[in-house]
Structure 1
Amino acid sequence: MIGDELVAGLGDARGLGWVGRVVARTQAEDPVFVSPLAVPGETTTALSARWERESRLRFHPDGNNRLVVGLGAADLDAGLSLARSRLNLANILDGATAEHVRCFVVGPPPRPGVDEDALATLSEAFADVCQRRHIPYVETFSPLRTHEQWHADVASGDGMHPGQAGYGLLAWLVLNAGWHRWLGVAEDG
């Protein structure tokens, strides 16, 4: 799993974040090795420059390697154009697909201080890139945009990152957006 600080669960007192909660609800015959490779505030440009090198170190040559990409709002903060953000994600997904690595993408959730309309547009662009490649995309912005618990949880912490409740909401969205089907495992009952 690669992405920004939300992939690492920054702000979660339990240290699970959404990744830990999703993995805890994933039952598979073979062990699932998860390696969160998070860089705080990372843009898609930086992510596209490092994903392959870092992922390759963790992939097994004969394994069923998968790549989860957790996207944030850093592209907006950095002033990247929408076209550049789309191209960066497309390059990651196309590179992984060429290496026979199946991908799953989690879109950016709402964040304080980030223009909501711009983030909605960015999320839609990421969704389009994924749809064109038949790669699962978890839309987190729209469901959480007006979600009172999400906003209260972010506000009660450092004001930028969710706590336990917010990460629980992100995990629920991931688990209910085809996660188990993508892995080819039964849903935790």
Structure 2
Amino acid sequence: MAHPRDVRVCVFGDSFVAGVGDPKALGWVGRVAARTPPSTGVALTAYPLGVRGEATEEVVVRVPMESAPRFARGDEHRVVLAVGVADAHRGIDPARSAAALEFGLSSTSVPTLVVGPPPVGDQPMTVRIGELDAAYAAVCARRQVPYIATFGPLSAKDAWQEARADDGIHPDQAGYGLLAYLVLNGGWYSWLGAEPPKTPVKDRRVPRAAS
């Protein structure tokens, strides 16, 4: 087997990137990284760079400075932007958030992937997130940047509505698992140029005691 490519990925966003609410402290980023072992052809280093409460316009300005030291080594460098929930929570105009995303994409020279915001919060906030999802998707289509939508797929899932941390906004362990599933099956491997793993990443079977 060829030597795995040394790929460094910086994942920028808000508290959902930081994994707030997950008792295992993995979030969706950790789960996606766990499903990208060296057998995929990629030696992945994933940096979760989420800041709780930051909107898109605050996230994108961090990208150049915070990615630079993490991109000092490695064969390939990539960026993931996963924003929007904080924008909706703060009531920021979707057009303003979309413009900030476009600015961020235009100022990034490495391959970039955008993960859309999931449906959370009360009904008015969910409506705002739906508007953001559409606006972000349009920006990515225009710039030919891959976009993984989570709003539509999760809106119809009862399991998502029940997978809530104590604050009622962030996902719990099961919710982050659903987000990771959507990312992994929404184009993650093709974006990395990796082969999906054919076997479980970790064998969880308990070994038998020697007789």
Same fold (TM over 0.5): yes
In 2, the alpha carbon distance for the partners of 1:153 and 1:79 equals 24
What is residue 82 of structure 2 aligned with on the other side?
70
Within 5 A, what are the aligned runs for 1:1-189?
1-28=11-38, 29-60=41-72, 63-96=75-108, 99=109, 101-113=110-122, 114-154=124-164, 157-189=166-198
The DSSP-based 3-state class of the residue aligned with 1:66 is strand
Higher Cα Rg, which structure: 2
Equivalent AA in structure 1 for residue 92 of structure 2: L
In 2, the alpha carbon distance for the partners of 1:109 and 1:30 equals 28
Identity %: 44
In 1, the alpha carbon distance for the partners of 2:25 and 2:74 equals 31
In 2, the alpha carbon distance for the partners of 1:56 and 1:187 equals 28
- The Cα of 1:21 is off from its aligned counterpart by 0.8
Are the aligned partners of 1:27 and 1:187 in contact in 2 as well (CA < 8 Å)? Answer: no
Equivalent AA in structure 1 for residue 26 of structure 2: L
Change (3 A) 1:72 1:83: closer
In 1, the alpha carbon distance for the partners of 2:80 and 2:49 equals 10
In 1, the alpha carbon distance for the partners of 2:66 and 2:83 equals 17
In 1, the alpha carbon distance for the partners of 2:63 and 2:116 equals 17
The DSSP-based 3-state class of the residue aligned with 1:32 is strand
Q: Which has the higher strand share?
A: 2
Range 107-116 or range 118-127, more displaced: 107-116
Are the aligned partners of 1:7 and 1:37 in contact in 2 as well (CA < 8 Å)? Answer: yes
Deviations 1:4-59 (A, max 9, x none): 11112111111111111111111343421111111001101111221211111211
The DSSP-based 3-state class of the residue aligned with 1:36 is strand
In 2, the alpha carbon distance for the partners of 1:73 and 1:166 equals 15
Are the aligned partners of 2:31 and 2:177 in contact in 1 as well (CA < 8 Å)? Answer: yes
- The Cα of 1:84 is off from its aligned counterpart by 1.3
Q: Which has the higher helix share?
A: 1
Deviations 1:90-123 (A, max 9, x none): 1111111xx2x00011110111235222211110
Q: Please give the root-mean-square deviation of Cα atoms over the aligned residues, in Å.
A: 1.6
